[in-house]
Amino acid sequence: MIQYAWLIPLLPLIGFTIIGFGGKKLSKSLIGLLGSGSVLAAFVMSVLIFTNVHEGDKYIVKVFDWFSAGSLHLDFSFIIDPLTCLFLLIITGIGFLIHVYSTGYMHDDEGFHRFFAYLNLFIFFMLLLVMGSNYVLMFVGWEGVGLCSYLLIGFWFKNTAYNNAAKKAFIMNRIGDLGFLLGIILLFVTVDSLSFADGGVLDKVSAVGRSNHGTMELAALLLFIGACGKSAQIPLFTWLPDAMAGPTPVSALIHAATMVTAGIYMIARSQVVYTMAPMAMETVAIVGALTAIFAATIGLFQNDIKKVLAYSTVSQLGLMFLALGVGATTGAVFHVTTHAFFKALLFLGAGSVIHAMSGEQDIRRMGGLAKKIPITHATFLIGTLAISGIPVLSGFFSKDEILAHAYEHNPVYWIAGIIASVMTAFYMFRLYFLTFKGKFRGTHEQEHHLHESPKSMTIPLMVLAVLSVIGGFIGIPHLFAHDAHWLHHFLGFGDILTLSTDTEWALLVLTLFVVGVSIYAAYRAYVKEGRLPAEKEEQLNPVQRLIYNKYFVDEIYDTLIRKPLDWISEKFYQIVELQIIDGVVNGVGAGVKWVSSVGKYAQSGSVSFYVLAMVLGAIAIGLIKLW
C-alpha cells in the first residue's frame, strides 16, 4: 500500500491539471466533482496508508532522482511516518470537506474553475510539504503553498487591496523562506545530507549535534524564521489577518487548518535539531507566548468576523509554538489537529454567516442570527466552545496538554498561556454573542435575504462540528483514562509529562475557572448589558485605540521597512545609479569629448604656430634626451 503513496499528491495534481487546462469549458458540477473527488481519493489513500503505519515506522517512497550536485543528492521521494500520516489525514480530510463546502460557497463566482484549480494545487503542494522526504522537497511544498496562498488571497484580482494583501502575504512568507532556506543549507553544510531517511540529516544531527552546539542553535533559529513566516508569528504575523481578503473557504483551509501549521510540522520534523538547541527552543517558546497574547489582545477589539478568527488563529498558532518551545511536540501537533477541526469549522461557519448576510462581515451589523441560520449557529457554538477549551471538546484536551507542559517547563509560560486562553474565550464568545444573540442590526434588505446555507455547506459544518467534539480523544490525557494518550504513542516524540496528578488537576481546574469567568464576562457585557463595539474609533480610549489599530504594527513596518526601502531605492536610483555610476561612465566619454573640443584649438590653422610647436617639441626632446 505504502509504495503507492505517491498517488496521494498526484491525485490533486491531476485534478488541478484537468481543471486548469479545461477551464471554463468544464461545467461547474464536473469541476466540483473533480476537485472534491481528487481530494477525496487522496483522503481514502491516506486512510489506507494510515492503517498500515504504526508507531515508529518510517517508509521512504522514491519517485525519481531529482537532482544532485557534488555530495548533495536529492531524491524526489516521499516519507511516510506517523507524523506525516496525521497531517495527511488532516489535509486531505479537511481539504475534502472544504472542497465540498466550496462547491456551494463559490457557486456563483465567475472564477469557480480557477478557484478549484488553485485549491487542488494547494492540496498538492501541502501534501508535498508534509510528504517530502528531504528538506528541499519540503521547501518545495512550503513555497508552493505560499504561491497558492498568494493566488487565493488575491483571488478577486480586480480589487487592489486584495492584491496588496496577497503580495504582502507572499513577500512576508518569502522573508521566512529565506531563513528556512539558509537553515537548510546550514544543515547541509554541517552534516552533508538533507534527507529524512535513516542515516540522513536527522540521524546525523543527533550524532554530531552535541559537538556543533552553536551551529545547531543557528540552524534551529533559521528554521524558526521560516516557521514564523509561514505560521504568522511575531514579527511576521501581519500578513495573516490581511489574508482574509481571500474567499472564506481559503481562510478555513489555508489560513487556519493547514498551511499556517506547516511551521509546526517543520519544527516537529526537525525536533532533533531543536533538542540540540536549547536557546532556540526558548526563543520559540517566548515568541510563541508573545504571539499568543499579542494576537489575542488584538482579537478583543476586532469587528470583522473573519479578522477576529484570523487573530485567533495567530494566537492559537502562538500557543502551538509555545508548546514546541517547551518541548511538548506532541501537544503542538495535537493542537494542530484539534485546531484544524474547530478553526476550519469556525471559518466555514463564518463563511456561512457571511453568505447569509450577503457578504457583510462586520459583526456590528449582525446579531440575532441564531434562529435564522440554526445549523450554522449550532456548529459555530460548538466551535466556539471547543476553542475556548470547554471540557470534553477537542480544544480542551490539546490546550490542557500544552498548558501542563508549559507549567512544567516554566510557570511563566503557563501564565502566558492562561492569559491567552482567557482572552480567547472572551473574544470568541464576544463574537458569538454579537453575531447570533441579541437583535439584528443590519439593513432591512440583508434581513430579508437571511437564509440558511445549502447542504453542500452545512454538511461539512456538521462533520467538522462532530470532529471538534470528539477530536480530542486521540490525545486524552492520563488524568482521564489509563494509558490513554494514543497520539503520544503514535507519534513517538517521547515528550512525556512528568507533573504529578495533583498539580495537573489543580492547573486544570484553575484554567477552567478563569475561562468560565471570561465567558461570563462576555455574556454579561454583550448579552445582558447589550453592549456593542464602538462605531467610531474616536469613542475608544487611547489603549483601546492602540489595540484596535493592531498596535500600529503595519504602520510601523511600513515606516520602518517598506518606506525606507522605497525611499533608499529611489534615491539610489536617482543619485547613485544615474548621477554617480552612470555619471562617471558618461563623464569619461564627455571628458574625452571636452578635451577634444578644447584641444582642437591647438590646431590653430597658423603655420607659425605649427612650426613653433615643432620647435618646442624638438626642444623638449633635446632637453629630455641630451641634457
* Residues from 371 through 430 that contact another protein (CB under 8 A): none
- Least separation, in Å, of the C-beta of 513 and another protein? 46
Contact window for another protein (CB under 8 A) among 141-149, 280-288, 372-380, 466-474: 141-149
Q: Which of residues 272-291 bind another protein (CB under 8 A)?
A: none
Residue 4 engages another protein in binding (rule: CB under 8 A): no
- Least separation, in Å, of the C-beta of 383 and another protein? 34
Residue 65 engages another protein in binding (rule: CB under 8 A): yes
Closer CB to another protein, 543 or 602, in the complex: 602
Q: Which of residues 542-571 bind another protein (CB under 8 A)?
A: 565-566, 568-570
Residue 606 engages another protein in binding (rule: CB under 8 A): yes
Q: Which of 25, 69, 198, 359: binder of another protein (CB under 8 A)? A: 69
- Least separation, in Å, of the C-beta of 67 and another protein? 5
Q: Which of residues 198-217 bind another protein (CB under 8 A)?
A: none
Q: Which cell numbers hold the place of 348?
A: 466555514
Closer CB to another protein, 214 or 542, in the complex: 214
Residue 158 engages another protein in binding (rule: CB under 8 A): yes
Q: For the chain, how many helices (H) and strands (E)?
A: 27, 2
φ/ψ of residue 301, rounded to 5: -115, 10
- Least separation, in Å, of the C-beta of 235 and another protein? 14
Provide the 3-class DSSP secondary structure of residue 244: helix
Rounded to whole angstroms, the Cα distance separating 486 from 85 reads 14
Query: How many chain residues interact with another protein (CB under 8 A)?
Result: 87
Distance (Å) of CA 599 to CA 147, 400, 604, 612, 620:
61, 88, 10, 17, 20
Q: Which of residues 72-91 bind another protein (CB under 8 A)?
A: 72, 76
| CA 567, chain centre distance (Å) | 29
Residue 536 engages another protein in binding (rule: CB under 8 A): no
Contact window for another protein (CB under 8 A) among 171-179, 247-255, 256-264, 410-418: 171-179
Residue 181 engages another protein in binding (rule: CB under 8 A): yes
* Pick from 386, 307, 378: nearest CA to 347: 307
Rounded to whole angstroms, the Cα distance separating 506 from 490 reads 28
Residue 57 engages another protein in binding (rule: CB under 8 A): no
Q: Which of 163, 206, 283, 358: binder of another protein (CB under 8 A)? A: 163
Q: Which of residues 14-33 bind another protein (CB under 8 A)?
A: 23
Listed in sequence order, the residues at least 6 apart from 60 whose beta carbon sits closer than 8 Å to its beta carbon are 77, 78, 79, 80, 133, 195, 196, 197
- Least separation, in Å, of the C-beta of 562 and another protein? 9
Is 540 buried (19+), middle (13-18) or exposed (0-12) by CB count in 10 A? middle
| CA 140, chain centre distance (Å) | 15
Write 75-80 long-range contacts (CB < 8 A, 24+): 75/133, 75/134, 75/195, 76/137, 77/133, 77/134, 77/137, 78/5, 78/6, 78/8, 78/9, 78/131, 78/132, 78/133, 79/131, 79/132, 79/133, 79/196, 79/197, 80/2, 80/5, 80/49, 80/53, 80/131
- Least separation, in Å, of the C-beta of 607 and another protein? 5
Contact window for another protein (CB under 8 A) among 180-188, 264-272, 397-405, 493-501: 180-188
Q: Which of 3, 443, 559, 586: binder of another protein (CB under 8 A)? A: 586
Contact window for another protein (CB under 8 A) among 33-41, 313-321, 322-330, 577-585: 577-585
Provide the 3-class DSSP secondary structure of residue 437: coil
How open is the CA angle 274-263-97, to the nearest 5 degrees? 140
